[in-house]
Structure 1
Amino acid sequence: MAPVALYIADSLIKVLTGFAMGFVVRDYTARKGAVKTKGIKKTTAAAKALNPVPRPREELKMVLCVNESLKMGKGKIGAQCAHAAVGVLQGSQKTQGVALRQWEMCGQPKIALRINSEQEMDDLAERARAAGLPAYIVCDAGRTQIAAGSQTVLAVGPAAKSAVDAVTGHLKLL
């Protein structure tokens, strides 16, 4: 066989192996936190406590509360919202797995809202966590427009729309 053909065959085998391993890892992580009993998958009591399943037909959403007192530019707001969304998702993968998958399959709705101060942001984050909702506050690194440590965006959710609205429903759209 020509060296090019061997290279192509070797590359194809590596790609297919990686693809298969991706399915194995995905299947393993999907089963984590569940116990299989007589062929029926049942969630453990501990997993249920950490993973509240929203009402079957209730829409899920995430809200991004932007600190208006910092007077950030549009690009900065976009970047900070992305940081907040990633941060809240990373923090809630283990505890909110079912809700995250439902949210992902339903278009990942996100709403950007205005918030007036860091104090208001802290209060809302506390209320969200007390209600069992995922919450994450972005503190800026201070490399561009604003001072280091400034609280830029609070992400709440993804969670049931009614639960998120109970905490953030009074805020205005950005």
Structure 2
Amino acid sequence: MKQAIVARTDIGMGQGKLAAQVAHASLSAYEKADKRTRKQWKNGGQKKVVLKGESERQLHELSEIADSRGLPNAVIRDAGHTQLESGTVTALAVGPGDEEVVDRVTGELSLF
């Protein structure tokens, strides 16, 4: 079981903002998973990776692929209270899900 979080590199988020957006994405996708998947992932150590995303468009495309493969996923939009304009897409979480299936969606991306 694995979860992959893709964070945008093209919008200049600071480290704290990046960490918060990754956390939002991880939790949001986790909440969309079914009970069995959540339990398996949680009991298996909650494996996750953070990957580099190039653009809003890329995150939406990856989300569509995840949907087509039945993977829980969450696109995160910033509230606009600090560094970014309200509604800016910042991150996408794919999974938790079977590691091989998650890798078919995000496996080509570089680690953050």
Give ranges in structure 2 of 5+ residues lacking alignment. Answer: none
Percent pairwise identity:
38
- Give per-residue Cα distances to partners, 1:137-159, cap 9 Å, x unaligned: 11000110111101001000000
Higher relative contact order (CA 8 A, sep 6+): 2
Report the equivalent of 1:119: 57
Report the equivalent of 1:169: 107
More helix by share: 1
- Give per-residue Cα distances to partners, 1:119-173, cap 9 Å, x unaligned: 0000000000001001101100011011110100100000000000001000000
TM-score (norm 1): 0.63
**Higher Rg of the two aligned structures:** 1
Report the equivalent of 1:73: 14
Report the equivalent of 1:133: 71
Q: CA deviation at 1:86?
A: 1.3
Question: Is the aligned partner of 1:107 residue 2:48?
Answer: no
Give ranges in structure 1 of 5+ residues lacking alignment. Answer: 1-59
- Paired residues, number: 112
Distance, in Å, in 1 between the alignment partners of 2:35 and 2:28 is 15
AA at the equivalent of 1:161: E
Which ranges of 4 or more aligned residues in structure 1 deviate by more than 6 Å?
none
TM-score (norm 2): 0.97
